Amino acid sequence: MIKQVKPWFSPFGEVRGGLLLLTIVLISACSGKKELPKTVSPEKMQEVYEEVKTPFKYGLVVAPTADSLMIDCPTVFQYEGSWYMTYFYFDGRGYETWLAKSGDLLHWEEMGRVLSFSDSTDWDANQKAGYPSLQDPTWGGSYELNQVDGKYWMPYFGGSSTGYEHGLLSIGMAYSDQSPAMVHEWDRHDHPIFKATDAAARWWENSTIYKTWVLLDESKTTGYPYVMYYNARGDSINPGRGAERIGMAVSDDMINWQRFGESPVINHHKGISGDAVIQKMGDVWVMFYFGAFWPDRKDHDAFNRFACSYDLVNWTEWEGEDLIAPSESYDNWFAHKSYVVKHDGVVYHFYCAVNKDSQRGIAVATSKDLGKSELSFQPKN
């Protein structure tokens, strides 16, 4: 059963009963925990921007082999000294999750599927969009995946409808006791861990649910070791419509999840705010995410941004230049859906590049000029 919980660490939240409030305050005091700042200073935000900016667009590094295919949503991790990327193929039926390998973060070799279509009536038969989770969250760290109960974990959004993100999409959980660097079909729980149709769903997530990102927080800042951020669409009047926002859930065991708080943590009221990926830079958490069709934006349809937090709940959004925005022939429509790593002093910002012919692949921008690449495919004129 999916329950809703409120942030436990703030003594200023709505709590019924003076005795319960006193107990929480005493427990917090005895445990040595102190309330973390709810905002990040402009100076700190500027410092983060200077660290993560990637002004040099290198080009496409993973691209479809046919015009009828599209590639989307990179997730990059390291395993035994090599780099791996999961991403989605869309062929008209729906999403499948694939794996690629690289020795230098620039040249990638496609390996095969890890979450495939099901020839059945399963709830996720035609959509399986996975994101390997529990990665070392340290900025510039190992980027390796942690295990729980001897397994690697990959939350995904799935659905039975065909088409591009059509129908009711819900969050499922896949897992494997084999190497995440090996091409194999991951096991899956036979039901979603939560859905837009759950009784506990809030007004802003009552239509459908998209990308997930699960973070390992060993310090249990929220009271839980596993924290999930996910995109959700909803509306208080028309449940089938509404903006796309970023919400939270928490877990003690990676199987049983609870919605956290009552409101989304990133909300621009119109358009899309989504695809959170989070790393820790010193004492501040950095969320890379994308925006699209915001009411105050005129220049670009989709672009990559970031926000910062000390407590994983209250996020201060960067108000300066986009990290990535459309500018090249291969990304002149959308430049969105971030995955950012720092390795050997270079920042690599992977993103989904879409041009005005609707060709879609994975591009990368870097913090240092690495020269021009040979593109995997040449966009149409």
Q: What is the pLDDT of residue 276?
A: 98
Dihedral Cα 323, 328, 330, 335, nearest 10 deg: 20
Q: What is the pLDDT of residue 15?
A: 39
Could you count the other beta carbons within 10 Å of the beta carbon of residue 219? 9
CA 89/CA 42 separation, integer angstroms: 39
Q: What is the pLDDT of residue 239?
A: 66
Would you call 270 helix, strand, or coil by DSSP? Answer: coil
Q: What is the pLDDT of residue 237?
A: 75
**Residue 325 burial (C-beta neighbours within 10 Å; 0-12, 13-18, 19+):** middle
Percent of the chain with pLDDT over 90: 81
Give me the sheet containing 82-90, strands edge to edge. Answer: 70-79, 82-90, 95-102, 108-115
CA-wise closest residue to 362 among 60, 159, 66: 60
Q: What is the pLDDT of residue 81?
A: 95
CA-wise closest residue to 210 among 252, 256, 253, 243: 243
Could you count the other beta carbons within 10 Å of the beta carbon of residue 307? 23
CA 243/CA 282 separation, integer angstroms: 33
Residues ≥6 apart with Cβ < 8 Å to 26: none
CA pseudo-torsion sign 313, 319, 320, 322: positive
Residue written as tokens 């691209």? 63
* Domains of the chain listed by start with CATH number: 40-366 (2.115.10.20)
CB 137 within 8 A of CB 216: yes
CA 47/CA 306 separation, integer angstroms: 12
**Residue 56 burial (C-beta neighbours within 10 Å; 0-12, 13-18, 19+):** middle
Per-residue pLDDT for the chain (381 aa), expressed as one digit of tens each?
Answer: 344 555 544 433 443 334 433 443 444 444 556 789 999 999 999 999 999 999 999 999 999 888 889 999 999 999 999 999 999 999 999 999 999 999 999 999 999 999 999 988 899 999 999 999 999 999 999 999 999 999 999 999 999 999 999 999 999 999 999 999 999 999 999 999 999 999 999 999 999 999 999 999 999 999 999 999 999 999 877 766 789 999 999 999 999 999 999 999 999 999 999 999 999 999 999 999 999 999 888 777 899 999 999 999 999 999 999 999 999 999 999 999 999 999 999 999 999 999 998 899 999 999 999 876 544 444 333
